[in-house]
Structures are given as structure tokens and as C-alpha cells.
Chain A
């Protein structure tokens, strides 16, 4: 098998593993914070519903974490198996955050184990809540460190190449690459936002299925408020990410925006299709691209004409960018409508069609996560380490990648189906109403 071929196959396998892992990882980063907030509200208001909410979320969370751990181990090992040349180079410069990440995993895994197996073991509920803080911190730290690695791939620094040798390596400088601040902030905000909308989806779904318990209403209102906050944060930071791109990876932004010629006062292309170099059926917002890139309507935005042909990313990333941004705008707008209407007591938010829209929010956010990652990763092509190493030079020479693709596709299919089956069974067998009744009975029993 040719060299190009294994590079392509390795890309497919990497794409598959990462796209699968990122779903669980996002939940893994975001949900601990949601559990923490619910439990905290519950303790403060002395409201058993919120505590139960936290507990039920935690139960589902264990399952997604376990699959996250398994798939994370897979991608961690696959990076070395599929991209040995890249890891050999990168290991010299960016191994530090990867290594630190392992400690974050330790921290998270240890306290998660403790947290899960100590419900009601402490007299003081607050002590139990305290145990969740390291879980949330560990999860956030692991997303921080891995995103630092990814930022480095996009804007490498902290080393020099002299006659093919790496010299003057500075691990800290490599971690503080220009892409790092916006990337880390955006990844975390989107994880929180996605988790909030996913949990809102579940509550809305139970309500559509006829459960009218106040428990679900509380859950829905809480998660939609959180969703609103984090989707606004996401959009703001997303805007900063655009400015970062304009400065450091202009080819990615230009490809995403089908911006062929460098010009001032550039317009933003939304939707549409590409026919040769002609953009059809698009909505063009005047000056908007200049504003996104440099905050000024008349600023100059670099076009694709400034780059060699073989260093331009594929132009279809435009669709990915559109998908992500549209979903982001929609969810921010939609959660705003919900929260405003709930405050004012408008009743259309209780209509069935509206609840279905809420249900759609969680999956949409996941779609935006996938679109966002595909956009950054494909938009970095042909580079694996921008400016230093091309993806095709980084791949393994092993001839068995195709078999491994089949093997892992089967594995992810089973894990994905298993997650869905197990989660839905778990909640179906033990509905909230039943659990609340059981708890009441138990309390009554204790008092007698």
C-alpha cells in the first residue's frame, strides 16, 4: 500500500476516534459543573428535588465517563500508533501538557470514584459536594491540557529548527501558543453549554411523555438558564477565535468564508454553494467579515490568493463553519426566548411543539461540537503541525490501518448503542416519581 494511502486511512481512523471521543469528553467536562450547581442549589434552598436531580445526573454521568475513558485511552494510544513521526517530533516540544493531563485524569478518576460511592455517607451534605469540586476541576484541566496541545498544532512555537534538529526548546512557551487562550476558552464554554442543553433535552422529553412533576420544571428552568449564559459566552469567545484566525491562520478563515481575494470592507458569506470560484445562493452580510476578523468594518482581510495552492485547506469547511455558527446563534436566541417567557409567565413555552424544540437543543449542540472540531482540524490541512510538518509525512507506514478502521468502527458502534440502551433503561426502570416516593417512605420510616 502506498504512503499516501496509509496517511488517508490514518486520517479516517483518527477522525472516527476523535469524533466519537469528543461527544463523551464534552459531556465529561460539562456535566460535573451542572451536577455541582444543582446540588449546591439543593443544599442552599434545602430542596430535595435539586439534590435528587444531582444524584440522577451523576448516575448517568458515570456511564458516559466510562465510555469517555475507554475511547480516550484509544485516541491517546492511537496518536502514537498512527502518527509516529508527528509524536516523535511533538514529543520533544509539547509532551508537557500531555503528561500533566494524566495527573488531571488521576485526580478526576479518584474523586469521581469517591463521590459516587459516598452518597449519604456524610452527615453534612456540603462535605459530599466538596468531593465533586476536584472532579469538575480535573475534567476541566484535562480539556485545558489537551486543547493546549491542539492549539500548539495550529500555531506552533517554543522551538527552533536548525539543520533538521530541534533546538532551544521551551515547553512553557509551546504551551502558551497564540491559539491557546481563545481555543481553551471556547472549548470549555461549549462543553458547559452543550451539557446544559443536553440535560434540558432530557427534562423536556420527560415532560412531553406526560410527566408533569415539578421536578422536571425545576430541572428545565435551571438548565435553560445555564444554557443561555454559556451560549452567550460561546458566541463571544467564538468571535475572538475568528480574530485569532485572521491574525495567525488567515488561510483557515479565508477558506471558511470563501474569501478569495484580499480586500477591505469584506462581507461575510453565509450558506450558499460553491461553483468553481463562484458563490451561489449565499447571503452576503456586508462588512461583517471585516468586523469578525478585526472589529472594524473597513479592515483588510487576507484572501486565499496570498497562499500557495497546495497550502490551502479544503473549501468545504465553509459548511462546517456555517453549521456551527448557525446552531450557536440559534441556541443563544432560543434559550433567551425561553428564559424571558418563563419569567413573564407566557404559556407558549409549555406547548408541545416548543418542547420538541428544546429536545432538539441537546443533539444540535453536539452537532455543533462535531462541526467545530472538523472545521478546525480539516481547516489546518495540509499541515499536521502548521508550517512544519505535513499530515502526509506524519503517518505510520504500517499496512494494516484499514483493518483497524473496521475493528474500531465496530467497537464504537457497540459502545454508542450500549450507552443509549443502558441510559434509557436505567431511567425507565427508576422514574423520578417512584424514587421520590421511595425517599419519602424511607424518611417516614426513619422518623418513627
Chain B
């Protein structure tokens, strides 16, 4: 394994973790707003406060980890993506701020439960994946172009490309699906039958769109980036496994059985698909300008970063374990029997 591969694998893994935890967070906000406006009053509000409020900052750090890490391992990405992404990334930052401030102002703070705020919080959960996911489309090439040796983003090409839109739709469907499956499990553990039923229904509704759009993207790629498409097809069997895991999740949810396992299978489904996609993207970070090899940092920095990463993990894993034990696996806490907020 070369240093480049280690670097990109670490980043890709953390991006995957971010996609999962952020999807739960984004989707929950949307479902919360949706039920508030369809007068299924606050079935979810409790769960959101019990689970999401203590962990949202941790979720955010996964995002920070990714963009700091990619500049560290592949400094040249700053040049290409940094210049091109000014507007979309700034919009994403504003949306992230809406979410962060909702937790701060509405759930910890003065309990401002203004309907407008709930609505914005919910909406930002959908707009965020929609504003972040086009970066994946950009990495396929053809949208970031060069003029006088300077990169710029061709918005017209980006917004008229079916590839962009299918990725956006996939990200929305996936967010809602992941979130619904997780919340079904969490609500079930909390012994909240009403919330479980509601979330189970959402999970089943969003399963279809998630798998259809995911398949659709593979075919969009054929027209857009043939090289990537062929590499993707070489890995058909991994996508096959992913699909079987998907069927497993839906089956369990349908049968109202083992929600915990349903969620684990879902992680497996996304993990296999995410890594197969990443692997087929190799070695490009940005078609056709950047590969992980020519954008890589120097060797001494790479080694230092990897050492720091291992040391950091040594701190991180036990802490995360503690966090989850207290807020995810503690029966009394999950059921809301005890309230120890400062």
C-alpha cells in the first residue's frame, strides 16, 4: 500500500462516516418539520432532542475532518476545488449555520420553537445534501474548467447536466432513507410505538427512490465519463452485494423485525457501494486534472499525518464509545426516564 492510498482511504472512510451521521441528522430535521406541519405534532421532537442535540457537534467535526484532511494529504485540491467551490461551499456553510444555531438557540437555549425556525431547520436538512453532493458530479470532470491556467466552475454545464441532478436526487433520497431506518430503530428502543410506526412508514416509502436513483446514476455516467463507467462495471459484483443488503434491510423493516439489524445491513449496503464507487474513481480526484499521485503532499508530511491520525484514533475511539454508550445504548436515557441536561 502506498502512502497515497492510505491517505485517500482514511479520508474516504471519514467521508463515509460523515455521510451516515449527517444523513441521520439532516433527515431527522426534515421529518420533524414535516410532522409539525402535518399536525402529527412533535412525535419526533423528543427523539431529536434526546439523540441529536448531544451529538451534532461531533457530526460536524467529521465534516471538518474531511476538508482539513484533504488539504493536508492532497494540498493541490485547494487550488482546483478551492477556487471553483467558493459559491456552493459558502451556501453550504450558511445552511450548516442554520442547523447549528437551531440546536444552540432552540434546543439548548431559550427554547424558541417558532414554526418558521422549525421549518428552516427542516428545509436546510434537504438543501444541504443538495448543495454538497454536486461536488461528486464535479469530480467526474467537465464542470471545472481552465481559463488562462486558472480553474473556474462552469455553472451552466453543471446545472444542465442530468448527472448533477441525478446525484442531487440520490442524495436526497438516501438522506431520508438512512435517517428513517435509523430513527425507526431508535424509536423502537425508546419504546415509542407511534414514532416507530411513523418512521417505519417513511423508511419503506424512501427505500424505492433511493435504490432507483442509485442505479440511475450508473447509467448517467456512461454518457458523461466513459472511463469511470467501465471501471464501475468491473465492480458489478460489489454493487450486487450492496443490493442484497438493501433487500435485507427492507425485508426486516417490512416484517417489523430486528430493526437494529436492519440498520446494520443498511450501513453495509452504503459502505460497499460507497467504496466501490470510490475505488472505481481511482486514481482521479478531479477528472482529468488531478490524481491522488500528482497532488500528493511530500513524504515527511504524509508520514507525520498518518502518525497523527493513528494517535488521534487512539483518543477518538474510546471517547466515541463512551458517547454512544451514554446516549445511544443507555436504556434509561433513550427512553427519556432521566433528564440530566445542565
Chain A positions within 8 Å of B94 at CB level: 407-408, 411
Do residues A113 and B323 form an inter-chain contact, with CB atoms below 8 A? yes
Asked if B298 CB lies within 8 Å of chain A CBs, one says yes
Asked if B41 CB lies within 8 Å of chain A CBs, one says no
A80 in contact with B300 given A99-B72, A117-B327, A117-B340 (CB within 8 Å): no
Which of A76, A87, A114, A407 is within 8 Å of B78, CB to CB?
A87
Which of B67, B152, B308 is within 8 Å of A76, CB to CB?
B67
Nearest Cβ on chain A to B81's Cβ, whole angstroms: 8
Do residues A67 and B101 form an inter-chain contact, with CB atoms below 8 A? yes
Asked if A357 CB lies within 8 Å of chain B CBs, one says no
B 226-259 binary contact with A (CB < 8 Å = 1; else 0): 0000000000000000000000000000000000
Which of B63, B316, B340 is within 8 Å of A120, CB to CB?
B340
Asked if A106 CB lies within 8 Å of chain B CBs, one says yes
Chain B positions within 8 Å of A98 at CB level: 68, 71-72
A350 to B57, CA, bound (A): 41
A209 to B312, CA, bound (A): 47
Nearest Cβ on chain B to A413's Cβ, whole angstroms: 12
A143 to B304, CA, bound (A): 20
User: In A106-124, which residues have CB < 8 Å from any B CB?
Assistant: 106-107, 109-121
A73 to B93, CA, bound (A): 8
List the B residue with the shortest CB-CB distance to A424: B110
Nearest Cβ on chain A to B50's Cβ, whole angstroms: 9
Which of A106, A113, A418 is within 8 Å of B105, CB to CB?
A418
A92 to B304, CA, bound (A): 11
A118 to B72, CA, bound (A): 36
Asked if A279 CB lies within 8 Å of chain B CBs, one says no
Chain A positions within 8 Å of B60 at CB level: 69, 73, 109
Nearest Cβ on chain B to A421's Cβ, whole angstroms: 8
Which of A62, A95, A96, A414 is within 8 Å of B75, CB to CB?
A95
B contacts with A: majority SS: helix
Give the residue among B64, B87, B93, B326 with the most A Cβ atoms within 10 A.
B93
Count class of interface residues, chain B: 35 or more
Do residues A67 and B100 form an inter-chain contact, with CB atoms below 8 A? yes
A89 in contact with B83 given A70-B97, A170-B300, A422-B104 (CB within 8 Å): no
Asked if A212 CB lies within 8 Å of chain B CBs, one says no
Chain A positions within 8 Å of B73 at CB level: 95
List the B residue with the shortest CB-CB distance to A112: B57
Asked if A415 CB lies within 8 Å of chain B CBs, one says yes
Chain A positions within 8 Å of B69 at CB level: 99, 102
List the B residue with the shortest CB-CB distance to A418: B105
Asked if A398 CB lies within 8 Å of chain B CBs, one says yes
Do residues A87 and B68 form an inter-chain contact, with CB atoms below 8 A? no
Give the residue among A73, A89, A110, A169 with the most B Cβ atoms within 10 A.
A110
Chain B positions within 8 Å of A331 at CB level: none
List the B residue with the shortest CB-CB distance to A95: B72
Chain A positions within 8 Å of B101 at CB level: 66-67, 70, 414-415, 418
List the B residue with the shortest CB-CB distance to A84: B82
B 43-59 binary contact with A (CB < 8 Å = 1; else 0): 00000000000110110
A contacts with B: majority SS: helix
Do residues B305 and A169 form an inter-chain contact, with CB atoms below 8 A? no
A83 to B68, CA, bound (A): 14
Do residues A422 and B305 form an inter-chain contact, with CB atoms below 8 A? no
A80 to B304, CA, bound (A): 21
List the A residue with the shortest CB-CB distance to B66: A102
Chain B positions within 8 Å of A270 at CB level: none
Nearest Cβ on chain B to A79's Cβ, whole angstroms: 8
A 400-422 binary contact with B (CB < 8 Å = 1; else 0): 11011001100100110010011
List the A residue with the shortest CB-CB distance to B92: A77
A88 in contact with B78 given A77-B93, A80-B71 (CB within 8 Å): yes
Asked if B282 CB lies within 8 Å of chain A CBs, one says no
A67 to B101, CA, bound (A): 7
A110 in contact with B105 given A87-B71, A91-B72, A116-B341 (CB within 8 Å): no
Do residues B109 and A80 form an inter-chain contact, with CB atoms below 8 A? no
A260 to B60, CA, bound (A): 48
List the A residue with the shortest CB-CB distance to B62: A106
Asked if A55 CB lies within 8 Å of chain B CBs, one says yes
* Chain A interfacial positions (CB closer than 8 Å to B): 55, 58-59, 62-63, 65-67, 69-74, 76-78, 80-85, 87-93, 95-96, 98-103, 105-107, 109-121, 134, 166, 169-172, 396-398, 400-401, 403-404, 407-408, 411, 414-415, 418, 421-423, 425-426, 429
Q: Beyond A73-B63, A102-B65, A111-B319: 13 further Cβ-contacts under 8 Å? A: A59-B342, A74-B97, A76-B68, A80-B71, A80-B78, A84-B83, A87-B82, A103-B316, A110-B322, A113-B57, A116-B54, A118-B326, A400-B87
Q: Enumerate the 6 nearest inter-chain pairs by beta-carbon distance, A residue then B residue, closest first.
A: A91-B75, A66-B104, A95-B72, A84-B82, A103-B312, A87-B78
**Please, could you name 11 A-B residue pairs with CB atoms under 8 Å apart, sorted by A?**
A70-B100, A74-B97, A91-B297, A99-B72, A106-B316, A109-B60, A117-B327, A117-B333, A169-B298, A171-B300, A404-B90
